Amino acid sequence: MLRSHKEYVPAANRDWLLPLYDPLANLLGTGRARNTLLDQVGIDPGDHILDIGCGTGTLVVQIKQHHPGVEIVGLDPDPKALARARRKAEHAEVTVRFDQGFSNQLPYPDASFDRVLSTFMLHHPHGDEKAATMREVRRVLKPGGVFGLLDFGEPEAGTGGLLARLFPFRHHFRNTSPSQVLSLMRQAGLAHPQMVRQNTLLAGSVYLNYFLAHAPAPEIVTP
């Protein structure tokens, strides 16, 4: 959702479309996609979790409802989306924290979180901001912590069907093929990066790619 330190893409691309964001997301099946990501990431009682690009807070609220023992923070640059997120949390009667900020400059100390999540955000930043986001994720993860990423994206070159090549918003999914995302993870120092699943939407027009990576575990020094 970010473009630079001063600009960002609103959750629905236009402020006036924000009221339609959640209904359209539900229509596309993003709720099921998020559930799949959560199953792959795994959440333990007492985990500290960060959702970068949290938008209207759907995932943050969902996690807190199902795992009341975790501490969870949602971060997004869009104040209007965050206002909706806070209302959503209040309506659900859950206590969560929402911060305004950018994924390439996370306002948290090193090794703060057991899990960092990102859903439908990484296709927005430009290349340098994508790389900075990955480095920040690596920095704030505790040793052995898990990064779970779900996003729209391109297939590898030559693997997309006709609809995928003609899809009018395909240019938004720049630098999000599996090999490019995995390369960014490796360059940031994340360990064991892998694409664990790929689904499609709209008759194969849009790809959903799921990734996992870890912060390196501390080395065990034997006397």
Domain harbouring 32, CATH code: 3.40.50.150
Helix boundaries (H) for the chain: 18-28, 30-41, 58-66, 79-92, 127-140, 162-166, 178-187
Torsion angle (degrees, nearest 10) of CA 71, 106, 142, 149: 80
Secondary structure of residue 41 in the 3-state scheme? helix
Token pair belonging to 137: 């994720």
Q: What is the predicted pLDDT for the residue at 220? A: 62
Residue 49 to residue 144: CA distance in whole angstroms:
14
Residue 10 in any domain: the answer is: no
Which of 87, 175, 90, 99 is CA-nearest to residue 140?
99
Kindly state the DSSP code that residue 8 receives in the 8-state scheme: B
Based on its alpha-carbon atoms, the radius of gyration of the chain, rounded to whole angstroms, reads 17
Residues making up the chain, counted from first to last: 223
Question: Which neighbouring-strand residues pair with 97?
Answer: 73
CA 39 remoteness from chain centre: 15
Token pair belonging to 70: 């975790």
Residue 139 to residue 207: CA distance in whole angstroms:
28
Q: Per residue of the chain (223 residues), what is the pLDDT tens digit?
A: 443 345 555 554 545 455 555 655 665 666 688 899 999 999 999 999 999 999 899 999 999 999 999 999 999 999 988 999 999 999 999 999 999 999 999 999 999 999 999 998 898 787 799 999 999 999 999 999 999 999 987 655 544 444 344 444 444 555 678 999 999 999 999 999 999 999 877 656 678 899 999 999 876 655 6
Residue 1 in any domain: the answer is: no
Domain count, the chain: 1
Strand order in the sheet with 113-119: 97-100, 71-76, 48-52, 113-119, 141-153, 206-214, 191-201
CB 122 within 8 A of CB 130: yes
Structural domain span for residue 127:
15-214
